[in-house]
Structure 1
Amino acid sequence: MLQFYGGVDLKISLLYKLPLVACMLVIIALKSRTILLLIILAFIVLILGPAFKFTSNHKVAFLFNDISLAIKVITPFITFYFCKTIAKIYPDILGTYGIRALWINFLAILFNLVIGVLGFGYPSYDDGGEDGQGIGVNGFYIAGNELSGCFVLLFGFILHYFWNYQRFYFYPFSLLTIVCGALIATKTAMLASFMLIFLVPIVNERQYLFHFTKLKVKLFFPLVIGCALATYFILDFLKTVGLHDKIVWVLQEKGILDLIFSGRLELVSKILDSFMSGASWFEYLFGIGTIGMSGYFTTKYSSEVDPIDLFVYVGVLGSLIVYISVFIMILPAFLMSKKDRFLPPIIVLVNLILLVLCFFSGHILNSGMLGPIWGLINGMIFVKMSPLKQQ
């Protein structure tokens, strides 16, 4: 992270992502100036509220943070449309390098988890754990929840690949998926690891997805055994990773809903009350950004529930822009989900899981780490691959 005048912190990752986004916009502009203009208009709407707030609250660092947020939330769509454009010009390049990019990102996460196990990097949670060293491992990734979103997408893709082309490796990799989810130690990663290993085979039934099949019976039996074993060993596991006392305290003090949302309900209530107590119609439409929220809170500016944060940061219009762009991005895969092609089932599955997670763990719709590969995997739907020959 680089620090500049006025307390502006720029992440190094943003410094290389900005030229990448700029290059994608140039390619899009060469083929569709209309789409480029719509993207620019969307960006203006997303920063209009924070920019207006800046006229009365001159916090440069927060304004840069809001500009960064606007870039993050439209990056998935920019990447998606870039892939669509490239698919028309160089379909072979997108098919080859798109798949390769997903594998490289998967290997990067695996490498960072290994580094984390060796004692380097950051924990998922700073507090708790043995000797107060934190809980979970992220390697050199800082944001555990953003890593969890990438984990869902990339491990889901690799499971899908093995199921279709090298099924022998699907089963040991399923075990690795569970281990990696446990290492990250966020509820998102741990739950998603089990969901993926059971749902990837099911979504690959395609036209038989809602039929009772032998595969579903074969999966149901180990699922029951797995749930029984998990119930039996859950207390020892939670004590090992340092979550037992924390979970018991939350259940006793605040109930199961607060456990599911990890204390976010209280944050949601505080942030909405603060925002709605003094918001004008303009601020309802365009939001107030983190620069506006800094006037109400001194440290925590996010509820970590994406729809709430978007509403407060970019308003109703900004939220609509994000939701419409995500809908446009995921629609083609849903329309092709029953066709005999490689990618549609896993694209549909990871999109559904990610959209659910944005309510429970946040950092999905506004993730700078997840955004590019989320747009990429959705954009891969335009690759004209040969009909799938399953094992």
Structure 2
Amino acid sequence: MMTARQVTRIRGQLQSFVEEFAEDLGRSERRHWCGKYLEGLLREGERKSIEPLAARVEGDEQALQQFVNQSPWDHRAVLHRLRQQMRASALAGGVLVLDDTSLAKQGRHSVGVARQYCGALGKIANCQSIVTWHWMDKAGLHWPLAAELYLPAEWTEDTLRMSRAGVPPAEQRFREKWRIALDLLEEMKPQLPAYQAIVFDAGYGVVQPLLAELEERAEPYVAQVPGNIAAWPDAAVAIHKPTRRGRPRQHALVEDPAMHPLTMVGWRDKLLQEPDRWAQVRLPRADGAGVRAVAVRVQASQRGSRWRQPGAARWLLIEQLSDQTFKYHLSNLPSDTPTAELVRLAHQRWAIEQGYQQLKEELGLDHFEGRSWRGLHHHLTLCFLAFCFLTKLRSSKKTTLAA
């Protein structure tokens, strides 16, 4: 967060930054209040909801309310231009981080609020859940790319409730988080630099249709998965055996009847019997910490199939952390990918936690009431603008934020 003195020093740069979005924001008063709102998000202060924010920047509270909650500017167009601008700072070979963040809410009137898992609280609670994409590259540069509110079924089954919250007709349908994520990816992909992989945690890794869809689209990924996900040995071969009588078999069978799929935990126990296959790998962190890791080629286990025959070829990466816990990852990266590279990519998503912390604790991402669809997505977009402005400011050799 910045002091009043620091904000005064960079106010010209901030307004120039806002003017880059003039075509998307439209009228001059919108650009004025956008600058004021961003200034309020950047300024130090415990609460970043509109009333204290307006007092902090000596702005008109009603005008700021109208700009965020009712003004018709298109948040998707603003994010589209933001990605175009940030691309110039990105190094090719980064990763896309898929995640979601939760905004805890006390009442039930904010759009999309329901009792669901709230990562911010670590339990089931009333919250909004936002599907997000972030960029992360080898230089440590990262920023948010896109975000969209997830509407639970209890919302999409209540048309009147959605209409009262201003949910657009096109969005008044139930979509799982992973389908929202794929729609956002399709929308933003033409703007993105070349990336090495998509990375995500077990909340998405457990969704087998997501992995299958990414493979269908030839999207490289490194997915953390829970320990109960299964995989076949790489050597498993499925064949169609003819039947002597009756109907022909509809499903293939594994040629070797002694070969079975193992859960991730089963693979861990098996590989722990082969200590020479494990290696100590340094993590991409300044403190030089590392993990003990092993990577083996496996085949997907098709849980939806009667015979669970082998599926797509994947890497299975197992990490043993310093506290003796284990993490499991599946990846469709090429068969010659080194273990150290798989580990590096898997850990790229951890830097995003710092981004969430800054967005929430410093920029007030979760301070907004968020009753309407438009207001919530406007606020999300403005927080992303503030984050990216700070990123550009800190990377500039011409600017110092020293008091």
TM over 0.5: no
Higher relative contact order at CA 8 Å, sep ≥6: structure 1 or structure 2? Answer: 1
Higher helix content, 1 or 2: 1
* Structure index of larger Rg: 2
Query: TM-score scaled to structure 2, two decimals?
Result: 0.28
Query: TM-score scaled to structure 1, two decimals?
Result: 0.28
